[in-house]
Structure 1
Amino acid sequence: MDIGSVQRPSKFAWAAFDAPDRDLADQGTDPATAVAALAAGIDSGRPAILLLESPMAVPVPSTAGDGWQSLGKARDGEGNRPFSAGAGAGVLATGLVQGSWMLRLLAETVPAVTVTTRFAVWHGGDAQLLLGEAFVSGTGKPVLAGSDQHAADAAAAGLAMLDRLDAGEPFTSDVRCAPHGAFNLLAAMACWAGLHLDPDEIRDDILVIRACPALTS
């Protein structure tokens, strides 16, 4: 899901896939239809994954000694695109608002859904929905004609997730808050929204899937 302004022309886009099929199952440009599609899949009894293209866990360094000097530094794996830089900080704020809204709507639509940010919990069948982050960066690749950049990037994130699922375990995150502590924004938003999630996850690192941005030119 590509986080962005929902004002026209929309910079928000989502793409859905029915694993293991790599063909696009559905797509849209507003958060309400995104939640409707997600809820429909959950209602059918299928496990689901929701990836938001926004920093969804931030590093909190130790309070001991000079730990404060690491405040705001990039997460491991972010490279030259730290969460605290201008673009990252802007999309983080937008992602908090839009993600919270969508999770609240999901909780109202499918009240019984169980949610986690822990891949092992989801993979073991103990939660129906896995929440994670898409990190779109790197060398681009062509996409189908007619797609805009936001829709193409949303699809690229979904395909990257399918690639990881097809590859099997071990399943590791491409970006990590460690060695610092993690403030899990996905868990915080899910708890705020009233979803069924272990509140202890608020200190967990999350699954971040790196995807190549799509080129539409």
Structure 2
Amino acid sequence: MNNLSVFCADVGSISAKKFGWAAKLWGQAEIITGTDIESFTVLISESILRNEKVALGFECPLFVPMRQDPKRVNSARLGEGNRSWSAGAGTGALATGLVEALWVMNRLNELLGWSLSAEFSWTKFQETDAVFLWEAFVTAGAKGVSHSDDAVIGINTFLNSLPDFEASNAIDEKTVLSLVGAAALRSGWSNDIEILSTPCHVIKAQ
């Protein structure tokens, strides 16, 4: 896709310096990295002001499954393997990532002076000026040395999935509660309640 800039945040405690980010800007060969959430958000706003297509990922569970079987209520999403969203690391990243994603959304609204739109569909994203929200899944042997490294790995996995992007979705869950969808509603990035039932695309580094 022409004019595409890809951003990824590896979520974590900001005060403990466990937040890292990476960005592959349209027209630039090198991936930029950093550890400051404000700088990350400013960079995204600048891409939007240049009318670039923006894909924004967070390395944390962005939706959870809804199950009827009481024994499987908090079991792993299909495709997670032994790195379940409900395990210790997953739940910590889920909560931290939710508030950091919401902060980024709200801050972008402030920087730009208007509310952006969230999109989970790759096809619809290509036809609109919405921000494509996606989940980066970087665990176990795929992880890098630093939090920024993990964000770089997320971006490279995203870029390597192109052009057949739809086939790269790593999590097969149809009935979900979208946490990033809730953040989109709260920040004004969506006014459609159906977003709470819509899973986003998950890119899993191997």
Q: Normalising to structure 1: TM-score of the pair?
A: 0.83
Instruction: Report deviation, 1:137.
Output: 2.5
Aligned to 1:173: 169
**2:161 corresponds to which of 142, 164, 187:** 164
CA distance in 1, matches of 2:34, 2:40: 7
**1:87 corresponds to which of 86, 89, 101:** 89
Aligned residues: 197
CA distance in 1, matches of 2:204, 2:173: 15
Aligned to 1:12: 19
- The amino acid that maps onto 2:50 is S
- The amino acid that maps onto 2:13 is S
Instruction: Report deviation, 1:170.
Output: 4.0
The percentage of counterpart residues that share the same residue type is 29
Pair 1:188 & 2:182 matched: yes
Aligned-pair RMSD on alpha carbons?
Answer: 2.0
CA distance in 1, matches of 2:177, 2:42: 28
Query: What CA deviation, in whole Å up to 9, does each residue of 1:181-201 have, x standing for no partner?
Result: 111111110110122464322
CA distance in 2, matches of 1:104, 1:118: 21
**1:109 corresponds to which of 111, 118, 127:** 111
Pair 1:201 & 2:195 matched: yes
User: Residue 139 of structure 1 aligns to a residue in which SS?
Assistant: helix
Aligned to 1:139: 141
Instruction: Report deviation, 1:107.
Output: 1.9
Instruction: Report deviation, 1:118.
Output: 1.9
Instruction: Report deviation, 1:117.
Output: 1.7
Aligned to 1:121: 124
Shift >4 Å, 4+ stretches: 19-22
Q: Normalising to structure 2: TM-score of the pair?
A: 0.87
**2:79 corresponds to which of 77, 100, 125:** 77
Residue 11 to residue 169, structure 1, CA distance change in 2 (3 Å): closer
CA distance in 2, matches of 1:172, 1:199: 26
CA distance in 1, matches of 2:29, 2:190: 29
CA distance in 1, matches of 2:51, 2:147: 29
CA distance in 1, matches of 2:85, 2:50: 36
Larger Cα-atom Rg: 1
Instruction: Report deviation, 1:101.
Output: 1.1
Residue 170 to residue 89, structure 1, CA distance change in 2 (3 Å): closer
Instruction: Report deviation, 1:169.
Output: 4.7
